Structure 1
Amino acid sequence: MSGFDDVLGQEKIIKHLQNAILMNKVSHAYIFSGERGAGKKLLASLFAMTLLCEKQGIDPCMECASCKKAMSRNHPDIINVIHEKPGSIGIKDIREQLVDDVEIRPYSGPYKIYIINDAQKMTLQAQNALLKTIEEPPIYAIILLLTDNPDAFLPTITSRCVTLALRPASDNVVKSYLMDRMHIPDYQAEIDASLAQGNIGRAKQAATSAEFAQLTQNALHIVEQAENMQIYELVDAVKEMSNDKNNITDYLDIFTMWFRDVLLFKATREIDSLVFKQEINHIKERAQMSSYEGLEHIIDAIETARIRLSANVNFDLTMELLFLTIKEN
């Protein structure tokens, strides 16, 4: 960990937080919203570390006793609220770990910071219990609510917090991070960054998972060989994939990216902007076989399959229809 530089693509939010520290205008409650893997936890941890850092700068120094305690996750003034039930954060969790605890002054630093991850899981009773503290907080208390669904909060809570929405990072930023920090080869970093759609957590997971690399190969094999496969072989491929239902979104993402590459190559004859540059021979072949209309029809069919699967339509049937569309176009 090397400070706010570790948080990708969130420069505006970091600037806002650093200015608040610099001008001594830190709010007593923040909502960090963004999808899972966007960097909310890291950002909240670094903000808490900076507020308690003994050097009192706009970045954590990483060297003082306070920063070291925070890095080892046993700083007495940084409280990560935990909950017993996986699906909800109850009134008991909020009362015991925050409402009652906030009356006790900080042990060593100027602030006492509460981090509630998955804060959208708070029950209405828990939110109401928290509301009183947010309305009349002790001067030293700061509450950080981390969520992928800010709409789950009571309007009375939202109106009393500063909301900071984390945006997806650009593909180039993610790709550079994977190559420079994680030493992922150019070709693989391009695929992982495109699949991650600006979500650095997802990109890191894709880059470090052998299972994901295998999934990518399987997906490419299916789309590249689809026109040569018999219906029964397509059905077998569907069966193979249905053992892997949890990963079906990744399969569909790879299919979409591959056919977009085919469409792009057909239109421009350029290789530089393709995600799957190493598959150029297969891409050329497919571009010759399919019309523009046919390729757009396939990309639409992949999206339709995605919608059907999320609506719990029969898996095998959905995938067979998709493969038939790929084969026919």
Structure 2
Amino acid sequence: MSFKTISCQDRAIKLFQNAILNDRLAHAYIFAGQEGIGKTLFSRELAKTIFCQHRGTDACDTCNSCKRITSDNFSDLFFILPEKNSRVIKIEQLKYLQDVLNVKPLESKYKIVIIQSADKMNEEASNCLLKTLEEPPSYAIIILIVTSLESVRETIRSRCQIVRFSPLSSTVVKDILINRFQLDNKKAERLAVVSNGSIERATLLSGTHALEKKNWLVDRILKLEMNDNLTFSKELFEEWHIQDLEVLEEKRTYVKELILSFLLYYRDLLICKTGGSKLPIHYIDWKDALISKSNSLSEDVLFRIINVIKTSLGHLDHNANITLLLENMITKILHLQFNCRIPSLQEHFSLR
């Protein structure tokens, strides 16, 4: 593989090709963008290009250095990521980074360290990284891969060059699903639409039969009553088989997808409410029901519900109890939906 295989990131490719050509690589970068759009893949291809023995603006994929990087066996390239079953990068891992950078490169003029999920460093780890960024060795290139810049301390952001990565186009996601994962055209097209430009999310949705579950979810939400919050939460865990998962991080991944499904549903309601005909509706098969439902809710209520869902996503990333998080989110949504909804004409006259 090489930069030629990287899709939808032409701006980032051009940036680094010019930096390599003019020998103006920075000591620290932040690669920012949503999950599953190829930031880690890009960082590996960048390392191959920098270390390539044929010295150009793209990796040859045939030299000894390129082959060893592909097989994770190159002495001047290091990856740091959260340990298994851990949600944070710990200070011990950043001390290891310091030890690594204290030793000069063995095979190149550079030593590259790629920190995956760098927005999940704990406070001690962030302080340790900051010390390294304040006085990096001349041969060091440190790449922080994050989904949210807001989770990275300003003192760290200010010492890095920020490179923003774009979501993949639905066409690219569809082609990858067909060619790499052998999905049929219709399913690949539907997954490409709901994946929001993330191949990682598209493959997760495919493996969990989430498209079918999303249809169940919409049907169930449309029938909810005010006091269904606890029973509905239990149904969700059973339908998504969340209680059957043993690894906590896997549970969080499923719950995150579930919450995103709620977000898409209420986003669709808002589009129907505001008449945004140019914006796509994700639950297109339910369009008539969504339009009908949107008539009973005000724009203000829909915005408030969407904020509740976004807040829940944020809490999920900060070790909140999954069961309580979901129950609390649904309770708040139903409270807003039933206590702040627009009364029907018949209800209006009965209240007079």
Do both share a fold (TM > 0.5)? yes
Q: For each residue in 1:123-149, what CA deviation from the matched residue of structure 2 results, as whole angstroms up to 9, or x when unmatched?
A: 455444444543443332211122234
Aligned partners of 1:274, 1:267: CA distance in 2, in Å?
9
- The Cα RMSD (Å) is 4.1
1:10-25 equivalences under 5 Å are 10-25=9-24
Structure 2 match to 1:64: 63
Structure 1: runs of 5 or more not aligned:
none
Structure 1 match to 2:306: 303
Structure 1 position 180, deviation (Å): 5.0
Q: For each residue in 1:183-241, what CA deviation from the matched residue of structure 2 results, as whole angstroms up to 9, or x when unmatched?
A: 434433343233222333212322x3143244234235436xx46x9999998666422
- Equivalent AA in structure 1 for residue 26 of structure 2: S
Going from structure 1 to structure 2, the CA distance change for 1:232 and 1:3 (only over 3 Å counts) comes to same
Query: Does 1:204 pair with 2:199?
Result: no
Contact 1:305 1:322 in 2 (8 A): no
Structure 2: runs of 5 or more not aligned:
243-254, 316-324, 345-352
- Equivalent AA in structure 1 for residue 69 of structure 2: A
Aligned residue pairs, count: 315
3-state DSSP of counterpart to 2:44: helix
Structure 2 match to 1:216: 214
Structure 1 position 306, deviation (Å): 2.6
Going from structure 1 to structure 2, the CA distance change for 1:146 and 1:219 (only over 3 Å counts) comes to same
3-state DSSP of counterpart to 2:62: coil
1:261-276 equivalences under 5 Å are 275=282
Aligned partners of 2:73, 2:271: CA distance in 1, in Å?
48
Structure 2 match to 1:240: 235
Contact 2:33 2:146 in 1 (8 A): yes
Q: For each residue in 1:49-77, what CA deviation from the matched residue of structure 2 results, as whole angstroms up to 9, or x when unmatched?
A: 11111222222222222111111112111
Aligned partners of 2:304, 2:149: CA distance in 1, in Å?
32
Contact 2:81 2:117 in 1 (8 A): no
The structure 1 segments of at least 4 consecutive aligned residues displaced by more than 6 Å after TM superposition are 229-236, 260-264, 295-298, 322-326
3-state DSSP of counterpart to 2:142: strand
Provide TM-score, normalisation by structure 2.
Answer: 0.70
Structure 1 position 104, deviation (Å): 2.3
- Equivalent AA in structure 2 for residue 113 of structure 1: I
Going from structure 1 to structure 2, the CA distance change for 1:84 and 1:212 (only over 3 Å counts) comes to closer
Contact 1:102 1:141 in 2 (8 A): yes
Structure 1 position 290, deviation (Å): 2.5
Contact 1:33 1:165 in 2 (8 A): yes
Provide TM-score, normalisation by structure 1.
Answer: 0.74
1:115-126 equivalences under 5 Å are 115-126=114-125
Structure 2 match to 1:92: 92
Structure 2 match to 1:293: 295
Query: Does 1:134 pair with 2:129?
Result: no
Larger deviation: 173-182 or 232-241?
232-241
Larger deviation: 234-243 or 103-112?
234-243
Structure 2 match to 1:187: 186
Going from structure 1 to structure 2, the CA distance change for 1:317 and 1:67 (only over 3 Å counts) comes to same
Larger deviation: 16-25 or 194-203?
194-203
Aligned partners of 1:52, 1:283: CA distance in 2, in Å?
52
Aligned partners of 1:34, 1:166: CA distance in 2, in Å?
5
Going from structure 1 to structure 2, the CA distance change for 1:257 and 1:63 (only over 3 Å counts) comes to farther
Q: For each residue in 1:77-98, what CA deviation from the matched residue of structure 2 results, as whole angstroms up to 9, or x when unmatched?
A: 1111356693443443223x22
Larger deviation: 111-120 or 82-91?
82-91
Structure 2 match to 1:42: 41
Q: For each residue in 1:131-171, what CA deviation from the matched residue of structure 2 results, as whole angstroms up to 9, or x when unmatched?
A: 45434433322111222343444544333321112233344
Contact 1:80 1:115 in 2 (8 A): yes
- Equivalent AA in structure 2 for residue 103 of structure 1: N
Structure 1 position 5, deviation (Å): 4.1
Structure 1 match to 2:252: none
3-state DSSP of counterpart to 1:56: coil
Going from structure 1 to structure 2, the CA distance change for 1:308 and 1:36 (only over 3 Å counts) comes to closer
Contact 2:78 2:114 in 1 (8 A): yes
